[in-house]
Copies of this chain bind each other. A is one copy, B any other.
Amino acid sequence: MTIVEEKTAADPCAEAQRYLRPDGQDQYTISEVAEFTGMSAHTLRWYERIGLMPHVDRSHTGQRRFSNKDLDWLAFVGKLRLTGMPVADMVAYAEMLRAGDHTSRQRQALLEATRVDVVRRIAELQDTLSVLDSKISAYAGAGQAPERTA
């Protein structure tokens, strides 16, 4: 929790890179990663199980040790999740990555389709925002006039 509040001074967008990654240390326990990413440890294990994460390194006793690369990937997954992309599609992307270079065309296509989707969703939300604004200003102006249109 305390870590979340710190941020690198050079980063203009605190939301994007919430977690601190000291360069000297490249080994995170699952609970640390849960804290950094906001995902639960259950979710992280589940992501690995369904193939949304590459297999994570283990300690000699079998405990997961996440790397900075894993954190990068999880940050990306977190972004995709915000777009409403189905987990199955993310898994498909991850599998294409694992499959190698010959899938890069498909991966690019998938990202581009996602991009189109995100643009559409932004437009929808902006439209919704204007609806909300007009209702809110009706409430602010009258007090009970908006009753008619809900």
Contacts and interface: CB of A to CB of B under 8 A. Distances in A.
Interface of A: 13, 15-16, 72-73, 76, 79-80, 82-83, 97, 101, 104, 107-108, 111-112, 114-115, 118-119, 121-129, 131-133, 135-136, 139-140, 143-144, 146-147, 149-150
28 contacts: A13-B127, A15-B124, A15-B127, A16-B131, A72-B150, A73-B150, A76-B131, A76-B149, A76-B150, A79-B127, A82-B121, A82-B125, A97-B147, A101-B144, A104-B147, A108-B136, A108-B139, A108-B140, A111-B132, A111-B135, A114-B132, A115-B136, A118-B128, A119-B129, A121-B125, A122-B125, A122-B126, A125-B125
A111 B146 CA distance: 12
Nearest to A112: B136
B149 A104 contact: no
* Copies held by the complex: 2
Contacts of A124: 15, 82
A111 B139 contact: yes
A109 to B, nearest CB: 9
Contacts of A112: 136
A48 to B, nearest CB: 15
Nearest to A140: B108
A118 B129 contact: yes
B144 A132 contact: no
